[in-house]
Chain A
Amino acid sequence: MKRIVTVCLAAGMLTGCAGIGVDPWDRGVLARDDMQLDAYPIDASLDDHIYFSKEASSGGRGFGGGGCGCN
């Protein structure tokens, strides 16, 4: 059931998103380094490791590297 809901949600989002967006010549700002969603991967990776070691929830943005460092 959960899978069906997820697939429907994803399909709905895709359909809903079909009209949203910009033309290639309007991507000047979006192409800038500071507008990338993973602009500073090393900061994100180090932060993920810190909070993974100190809090019960982790992840969500992507896959983290390995290891425990759990103290």
Chain B
Amino acid sequence: MSKRDTTIGHAVAAATCTLLGTAAPALAEDEAARWDFDTALLYYGEDNDRVRDLSASILARRDFDDDRYLNLDLTVDSLTGASPSGAIAMDGPQTFTSPSGNDVYETAAGQVPLDDTFLDTRFALDVGWTQPFARLYTMTAGLGFSTEYDYTHLGANLGVTRDFNRRNTTVSAAVAYAQEDIDPVGGTPLPLALMQDVGDDSSKAGTDTKDVLDLLLGVTQVIGPSTVLRVNYSYSDSSGYLTDPYKILSVVDPVTGDTIERAPASGALGPTGVYRYEARPDSRRKQGLYAEVKHDFTGKVLGVSYRFGTDDWGIDSHTLDARLRWPIGEFNYVEPHLRYYTQNAADFYRFSLLDGDPLPSFASADARLADLDGVTLGLKYGHRTVSGSEWNARVELYQQSGNVPGGQLIGNQSRRAVFPDLDAVIVQIGYRFKL
């Protein structure tokens, strides 16, 4: 071996050792330092054995230098419990055909009917990319996918932001498009079709779809050294199957307000009253104005937001949200939270359908389309570790109450439980960390 060969050999050996012995851990360390994780476990539970949801989420962000980031958001949901069907309470027990069409479920006398056949698991994945593409400009692009037993969502979004005014003003514009496939248990009910006996699928059709186009225009403005403001205008256009395939309406006597009774066919199981599946318009245009301000009071941070929503179904809503983050020492904080929401009923909301009247084009007794108010009270606690990770936990109570619009209660209806008010508890534990 010549001297030159020896030198080269030493160099190769040194390089190999560097790669294997030193550089590999350094690379791994660099890779680990590029990742941020935000994780949460959430429990949502309603009173009276209604909906319970257990959800696990992980949000990961990888830094690719030069303000370029990859975001991954994965959520898994497990949903069980009972949900109001839209039918009204009666003095006697009621029997309904379950959405699958294979069985029946019953509601006790005087109770607002709940369908307790729900069991679903949702898996959702969103992937996003952010990067500057010119001086003062940043773009974001994302893809989203989610699937559950009866529903599949596929979406894409694209956004641009531009800084002005020494980066004190940021204007953003974004567009998102989604296509959703709906494959309800037991099929898609025909609009306002009658609920049939078990095994009779004459009121059901196959699957359906909907498309959603969202636009968002926003301005974020630094007001001062301690205050920042954001204002968004949003527009959303949905078209296709917008009906809830599991919601029904009771058909009632126009004088007594009682559900018209029926008997299942001889030897069959089936509903003991006359019920029709709901029908909503096949398009909906929503607009929203959202404003949010954050202000620092020497370490305490107050965040307040307000949202006004309006749509062509006749629903207007107002949402007010306030949080005060209060540090305790260097590593802890508490954050009380208050949220108030109010909406008026959709034009086609009907508490019940009158027997003998011509059928309307659209009708829904879904309580979520009625006049309702919601109040959330919560408290969050967070602890930051010396390494910069954060543990946090929050407990919130959500209370929703509603009204049936004036004039829709007939005869005996007004003396029975009319609205499925709900009390829910939200408990969340979170951990955010770097590797």
Chain A residues packing against B (C-beta within 8 Å): 6, 10, 13-14, 17-18, 20-24, 26-30, 32, 34-35, 37, 40-43, 45-46, 49-51, 54-63, 65-71
Tell which of A21, A46, A57, A66 touches B317, judged by Cβ atoms closer than 8 Å: A57
- Known contacts A14-B169, A50-B44; decide if A27 and B343 are in contact (CB<8 Å): no
In angstroms, Cα B232 to Cα A8, docked, is: 15
Across the interface, do B341 and A55 meet the contact criterion of CB distance under 8 Å?
A: yes
In the complex, what residues of B have CB within 8 A of residue A66's CB? Answer: 124, 126, 144-146, 153-155, 178, 180
CB distance from A49 to the nearest CB of B (A): 8
- B174 at the binding interface (Cβ < 8 Å): yes
- Known contacts A14-B169, A45-B57, A56-B315; decide if A65 and B120 are in contact (CB<8 Å): no
Tell which of A14, A28, A30, A43 touches B219, judged by Cβ atoms closer than 8 Å: A14
What is the interface of chain B mostly: helix, strand, loop, or mixed?
A: strand
Classify chain B's interface size: 35 or more
Across the interface, do B214 and A59 meet the contact criterion of CB distance under 8 Å?
A: yes
- B332 at the binding interface (Cβ < 8 Å): no
Given A27-B225, A29-B225, A30-B222, 8 more pairs with CB closer than 8 A: A14-B219, A20-B165, A21-B168, A21-B222, A55-B372, A65-B75, A66-B145, A67-B148
7 contacts between A and B (CB under 8 A): A13-B221, A20-B222, A56-B311, A57-B309, A68-B182, A69-B148, A70-B244
Which residue on B lies nearest to A68, using beta carbons? B151
CB distance from B294 to the nearest CB of A (A): 6
- B201 at the binding interface (Cβ < 8 Å): no
- B430 at the binding interface (Cβ < 8 Å): yes
In angstroms, Cα B236 to Cα A70, docked, is: 18
What is the interface of chain A mostly: helix, strand, loop, or mixed?
A: loop
In angstroms, Cα B165 to Cα A20, docked, is: 8
Across the interface, do A17 and B120 meet the contact criterion of CB distance under 8 Å?
A: no
- B157 at the binding interface (Cβ < 8 Å): yes
In angstroms, Cα B245 to Cα A63, docked, is: 25
In the complex, what residues of B have CB within 8 A of residue A18's CB? Answer: 164-165, 169
Which residue on A lies nearest to B172, using beta carbons? A62
- B106 at the binding interface (Cβ < 8 Å): no
Digit string of B175-199 for contact with A (CB within 8 Å is 1, else 0)? 0101010100000000000000000
In angstroms, Cα B309 to Cα A56, docked, is: 9
Output the residue of A6, A35, A63, A66 with the most chain B CB within 10 A: A66
CB distance from A47 to the nearest CB of B (A): 8
Across the interface, do B53 and A59 meet the contact criterion of CB distance under 8 Å?
A: no
Which residue on B lies nearest to A7, using beta carbons? B217
In the complex, what residues of A have CB within 8 A of residue B398's CB? Answer: 50, 54
Across the interface, do B166 and A24 meet the contact criterion of CB distance under 8 Å?
A: yes
CB distance from A35 to the nearest CB of B (A): 6
Across the interface, do B343 and A57 meet the contact criterion of CB distance under 8 Å?
A: yes
- Known contacts A22-B222, A43-B40; decide if A67 and B166 are in contact (CB<8 Å): no
CB distance from B250 to the nearest CB of A (A): 20
In angstroms, Cα B77 to Cα A32, docked, is: 32
In angstroms, Cα B171 to Cα A14, docked, is: 9
In angstroms, Cα B122 to Cα A55, docked, is: 19
Tell which of B38, B81, B150, B307 touches A42, judged by Cβ atoms closer than 8 Å: B38
- B95 at the binding interface (Cβ < 8 Å): no
Question: Which one, B22-30, B285-293, B350-358, is touching chain A?
Answer: B285-293
CB distance from B127 to the nearest CB of A (A): 11
In the complex, what residues of A have CB within 8 A of residue B79's CB? Answer: 69, 71
Across the interface, do B166 and A55 meet the contact criterion of CB distance under 8 Å?
A: no
In angstroms, Cα B338 to Cα A37, docked, is: 17
Digit string of B395-408 for contact with A (CB within 8 Å is 1, else 0)? 00010100000000
In angstroms, Cα B301 to Cα A13, docked, is: 25
